[in-house]
Structure 1
Amino acid sequence: MQNRTLPAHVEILIVGGGPVGALLLQLLRQSGHDVWLCEARASVGPDPRALAIAQASITALQEAGLWSASLPATPITHVHVSQAGTLGRTVLAAEELGLAQLGMTVPYQALAQHALDTLQRESAPILTEAKVTRIRQLARYAQVEIDTPSGAHALTCRLLVLADGGQLLSQLHDVQQTVKSYQQHAVLARLTPKHPHGGMAYERFADDGPLALLPNGIDYTLVWTQSPSAAAARLAMPDADFLVAVSERFSDRISGFSAVHERASWPLALKTLNSVVGQRVVLIGNAAQTLHPVAGQGLNLGLRDASTLAQLLANTPKSELGEPALLQRYRQLRQRDAGLVTHFTDSLISLFDTASPPLKHARSLGLLAIDQLGWLRKGFAKRMVYGAR
C-alpha cells in the first residue's frame, strides 16, 4: 500500500488499476484533472492468460508511459484464419496496413504489473489495497466507501469510473447487466511448436470449437473453446494425447508441436449492460463488457473506452463532470465500436457452432472471398487493429 491518504473529495475517482484504469488515470493526469485511482490488490497475482494487444492499443499505452520494451511481448505479423475440413482461409498481414506488426502477445500478469509499478514509481494519485465496498449515486456527486489496511474511508466525487471488473454493478440503481452463458470453457495451454512460428497467429474453427494460437516467446499460447465436459477431459489428457488432439484440428496448417506446458480452463460468458453510464457513473473495460476470447478483442475494446473517455474529459469544465449531457455523449461515442465488436465476437460463435455441410461450405467461401478481395481483407484487418471508427 502506498503511504498516501485519500482526500474527502476528488473530481474523478477510478476504481480498478488494471491496464484500462491505469491508462485512463495517466491520460486524465496529462489533462490536469483532479483524479484518483483505487486498486484492491497490492500486486498482480499469477495469471495464465496471454493477451493479443493490437498495435493501436500498444501505441496508446506507449504514449501514456505504460508500455516498455522490457515487457515479454511477442510480435504478431500475420493472422491465419481457417476452418477445419475446408479449403477456405484468409491471411491478414501487417504490411497491408503499412505496419511492422498487427500487434503483440503479452502475458496479462506482466502487463498489469508493469502498469501498477509505473503508477507507483511516478507517485501517481493511486491507493493500492483499497477496496470500494459501497456506492451511493446522488444528484450532485457519487459517494463511495473504501476499505484500506488503515481503516474505512468515505469519499465523494463528481464522476465515478468503474474499470476492469463488474463486482460493484449490483449497487448501481440505474444500470443492469445481462449475462449470456456460452456453456463453454476456454482451455489455455502453452505449446512449443516443432518449427519457429515467425510471428504467425492462428484462428482455427474446428467442429468442436474454435482454437487460437498466439505467438508467445518461442512458444504458442493456445486458447481452445470446448464444452465444460470436454474441457475437463482436455485438462486430464496425457501430454502426448493432448498434442495429437490439437495437431489433428490444425491438419496441415501447422507442422505440429514438440511439448505442452501448463494447462488451465475457465467458463465463458458474454456480459453486457443496458447502459454504460448511470447517475454520476461511467463503466469502461470489463465493467462495461466481457467478451468471448475469439478474435482477442476484449482488452483492446476496453483500452479504447479509456482513450475515448479521456479525450471527452480533456477540456470538460469541472462543473460539467458527471453531468447527464456529458455521460450521454460518452455513451454515444462508444456505442458503435462497442456494439459492433460485441456483436461480431458473439456472432462468430453462433456462425461456426454447427458442423452442417452446407454451412461449412458457405463459411469456406466467405473466408476465400475475404482472402481474394484486397479491400475486404484490408478492411477486416483495420477493424481488428483500430476498432470501428
Structure 2
Amino acid sequence: MSSLPAHVDIAIVGGGPVGALLALRLAQAGHHALVLEARRETSADPRALALSYASREALERVGLWDDHALAATAIAKVHVSQAGSIGRAELDATELALPALGYVVGYDRLAKLALDRLADSDAQVALGSPVTAIRRLARFAELEVAGPDGPRMLTCRLVILADGGKLVGTLGDVVQTVKPYRQHAVLATLTPNRPHHNIAYERFADDGPLALLPRGDDFTLVWTQSPEQAEARLALPDDEFLAEVGTRFAGRVAGFSAVGARASFPLALKTLDKVVGRRLALIGNAAQTLHPVAGQGLNLGLRDAATLADVLGAVPAARLGEEETLARYARLRRKDAGLVTAFTDSLISIFDSPNPILKHARSLALLGLDQAGPLRRGFAQRMVYGAR
C-alpha cells in the first residue's frame, strides 16, 4: 500500500499468521480491515511450529495452507514419556478418525505465506508500518504509525493487537503479567538413525522437557534448559550434543547421526487480566505467550482469531468496537484460553521436580492416561480442537 487511509473500520496490528487469518476472514465477511505490519519481508527463523489438525482447517479456509510452500510434515502419533520410569502414553490420529493429529511447519515459511496471501487478497496490508502509539476514545481509536517522512495518523472503529510487542504495556485498561521461567528453549535439527514414521515425542527429563517434532526426514528438537545449561549445550561439539540428547531418549528413539545449527530463546509466560478494552481486542501473542512444552501457543492464537472473526462477522460496521461485541469475544475465549494456559504452565511445575515419589506418581498418571481409552481420546481431542 503506497499510502495509509485516513480511516478504516478495523486496524489489525501484526501481519503474522494470527493477524493474517483474522484479516482474511474479515475480508470474506465484507468488513473493511487494514493490517499494519512493521516488517517489509520475512526473515529466516529456526523455530518449528506444531499446528493441530484444527489449525490446518482454519488456515485452509482462507487459503493460508499450501503443503508445498510450507513443506508440512504430518504428525500421526504423539509419544509422551518420562525419563527414568515406565510411564508413557501415546496419542494416535486414527483414534480420532483424522488423517493427522497435526503438522510441523517452519515459522518463517508460514509467516511468508501469510504476507503473500494478504498481498493477493481483498484485505488491505501496509508493510513497513510499525504502530508506535494507540489512543482510544469512546467512538474511535487513533493509531500513530511511523513512516519515512514522520508519523502518520489513522483512525478506526476497532484496533486489534495480534502480536505481543511493546504496545501491550501502554494500554492502561489492560494489564499484562509476565512470569519468567528462567529457562531457554534450545533448538536444533537432528537426523535420526531410523525413520521417524511421523511420530512426535515429548520427553520429560530431570533437567528439562524435550520435544522431537518430525520435519521432513529429520527431527526438530526443542529442549528446555536453564540459561546456563543452554549456553553450555550450545557450545558442545556435535558428537557430545548428540550423545546428550540420545541418552535422554534411550529406549524411545534409536539415536541420531547428525545435528544442524543450534539456537536458543528465553521463555516466559505472558498473560492479561482481560483480552478486551475500550475499542480494543487482543489475540495471539498479544493475548498470551505460552511455554512451548505442549506446542499450544500458535494453535491457541489461531482459535482467538477464528472466534473474533465469527463475532465481528455477525455485526454491522457500526457495532464493531462496541463493548457488547467485545465482551462476547472475551466470553467465548475465556474457557479455552484459561484451561490451555493453566495446563501448559502446570506441566512445567508438575514435571520440574526429580523427587522419586513425584516421579512415580507422574509415571502412574501417564500409564493411566494410556490405558483409559475414553480419557486418552478426550485428551487428544482437547489437544487438537481446544477446550469447547
Corresponding position of 1:67: 65
C-alpha separation in 1, matches of 2:141 and 2:327:
17
Offset at 1:5?
Answer: 2.2
Corresponding position of 2:233: 234
Equivalent AA in structure 2 for residue 131 of structure 1: P
Q: Deviations over 1:153-206 (max 9, x none)?
A: 211111000002232012212011100001111100100000110100000000
Partners of 1:166 and 1:288 within 8 A in 2: no
Offset at 1:320?
Answer: 1.2
SS of residue in 2 equivalent to 1:371: helix
Matched, 1:120 2:116: no
Offset at 1:315?
Answer: 1.7
C-alpha separation in 2, matches of 1:67 and 1:223:
24
Matched, 1:258 2:253: no
Which runs of no fewer than 5 residues in structure 2 stay unpaired? none
C-alpha separation in 1, matches of 2:202 and 2:60:
27
Corresponding position of 1:142: 141
Corresponding position of 1:8: 6
Task: State how 1:142-161 maps to structure 2 within 5 Å.
Answer: 142-149=141-148, 151-161=150-160
Partners of 1:25 and 1:37 within 8 A in 2: yes
Q: Deviations over 1:94-119 (max 9, x none)?
A: 00000010110000000000110111
Partners of 2:211 and 2:221 within 8 A in 1: yes
> For structure 1, which segment, 141-150 or 13-22, has the greater mean C-alpha deviation from structure 2 after superposition?
141-150
Partners of 2:185 and 2:267 within 8 A in 1: yes
Partners of 2:32 and 2:123 within 8 A in 1: no
Corresponding position of 1:25: 23
Task: State how 1:154-303 maps to structure 2 within 5 Å.
Answer: 154-303=153-302
> For structure 1, which segment, 120-129 or 137-146, has the greater mean C-alpha deviation from structure 2 after superposition?
120-129
Partners of 2:33 and 2:123 within 8 A in 1: no
Corresponding position of 2:40: 42
C-alpha separation in 1, matches of 2:78 and 2:290:
20
Partners of 2:269 and 2:290 within 8 A in 1: yes
Which runs of no fewer than 5 residues in structure 1 stay unpaired? none
> For structure 1, which segment, 140-149 or 100-109, has the greater mean C-alpha deviation from structure 2 after superposition?
140-149
Offset at 1:12?
Answer: 0.6
C-alpha separation in 2, matches of 1:36 and 1:5:
12
Partners of 2:77 and 2:199 within 8 A in 1: yes
> Which segments of structure 1 move beyond 3 Å, counting only runs of 4 or more?
none
C-alpha separation in 2, matches of 1:224 and 1:170:
29
SS of residue in 2 equivalent to 1:205: strand
Partners of 1:137 and 1:172 within 8 A in 2: no
Equivalent AA in structure 2 for residue 95 of structure 1: T
C-alpha separation in 2, matches of 1:51 and 1:81:
18
C-alpha separation in 1, matches of 2:111 and 2:186:
22
TM-score normalised by the chain length of structure 1? 0.98
Offset at 1:361?
Answer: 0.5
SS of residue in 2 equivalent to 1:342: helix
RMSD: 0.9
Offset at 1:324?
Answer: 1.1
Offset at 1:46?
Answer: 1.3
Equivalent AA in structure 1 for residue 266 of structure 2: P
Partners of 2:74 and 2:104 within 8 A in 1: yes
> For structure 1, which segment, 117-126 or 205-214, has the greater mean C-alpha deviation from structure 2 after superposition?
117-126
C-alpha separation in 2, matches of 1:168 and 1:133:
7
Residues paired across the two proteins, number: 387
C-alpha separation in 2, matches of 1:106 and 1:149:
34
Offset at 1:43?
Answer: 0.7
C-alpha separation in 2, matches of 1:83 and 1:342:
22
Percent identical residues: 62
